[in-house]
Chain A
Amino acid sequence: EAGVTQFPSHSVIEKGQTVTLRCDPISGHDNLYWYRRVMGKEIKFLLHFVKESKQDESGMPNNRFLAERTGGTYSTLKVQPAELEDSGVYFCASSQAGTVLEQYFGPGTRLTVT
């Protein structure tokens, strides 16, 4: 069974540009989460999808971040326009439907904004 995959693995963009990160969860997992780790800090929650619905987006930093999960399969996270403080590693995780269950993490996308 394939794990959670993320694309790209690395992205270097200039301040003001747009970047779109993609996450493919484990097949059949209704729950999909986005997290971010800024250098030197802990991993922080961004948002949570259940199928195609945003269940909790309390961690989204501001309206420059837009997450979608059309069709309830893969998800994208767009940053527009990117700022220097957006640099970090963006993780995606997925879990099965139901009560609290382990979340399977992808390898992350390392975003560098210059």
Chain B
Amino acid sequence: GQNIDQPTEMTATEGAIVQINCTYQTSGFNGLFWYQQHAGEAPTFLSYNVLDGLEEKGRFSSFLSRSKGYSYLLLKELQMKDSASYLCAVTFGGGYNKLIFGAGTRLAVHP
């Protein structure tokens, strides 16, 4: 199988920075997505990395190292509304873009 590993839970303080890590098997790797999901809602797209390096989008950044099978999502200036699950998802092989998800990281932001 293609294991996608990420921490189950994290907590952080409002205004702080948090980094959520994700590791995956490198064989056949195509690209990596990060999604945010609030309880009872649809996952919403945050970022997509296919090349090594950092992609910045406002308060959120995502990093990828293809050779290490490693990515992280960096959230800056945390707000209470950032409390949600963050899902790492990978596409593999020459297939048709099905997403292989990790179990998600539940982030709780406290005042």
B22 to chain A, nearest CB (A): 12
When each residue 23-44 of chain B gets 1 if its CB lies under 8 Å from chain A and 0 otherwise, what string results? 0000000110101000011111
Q: Would B99 and A102 count as touching, CB distance under 8 A?
A: no
> Which of B62-70, B72-80, B101-109 is found at the contact surface with chain A?
B101-109
Residue numbers in B under 8 Å from A91 (CB-CB): 42-43
Does B12 sit at the interface, judged by CB under 8 A? no
Chain B residues, Cβ within 8 Å of A93: 99
By beta carbon, the residue of chain A nearest B4 is A42
Stretch of B13-21, B53-61, B90-98 with 4 or more beta carbons under 8 angstroms from chain A? B90-98
Interface size class of A (residues with CB under 8 A): 20 to 34
Asked whether A33 lies within 8 Å of B98 as measured between CB atoms, the reply is yes
B104 engages A103 (CB within 8 Å) = no
Contact between A59 and B98 (Cβ–Cβ < 8 Å)?
Answer: yes
Question: Are B102's CB and A105's CB within 8 A?
Answer: no
Give the nearest-CB partner of B35 in chain A.
A105
Q: List 27 A-B contacts (CB under 8 A).
A: A31-B97, A33-B98, A35-B101, A41-B103, A42-B102, A42-B103, A43-B89, A43-B101, A44-B101, A45-B98, A45-B100, A48-B96, A48-B98, A50-B96, A55-B96, A56-B95, A56-B98, A100-B91, A100-B97, A102-B48, A103-B33, A103-B45, A104-B45, A105-B43, A106-B42, A107-B42, A108-B42
Kindly list the 8 A-B residue pairs having the minimum CB-CB distance in the complex, ordered from nearest. A105-B42, A43-B101, A42-B103, A102-B45, A45-B98, A42-B101, A105-B43, A107-B42
B residues neighboring A (CB under 8 Å): 4, 30-31, 33, 35, 40-45, 48, 50, 87, 89, 91, 95-104
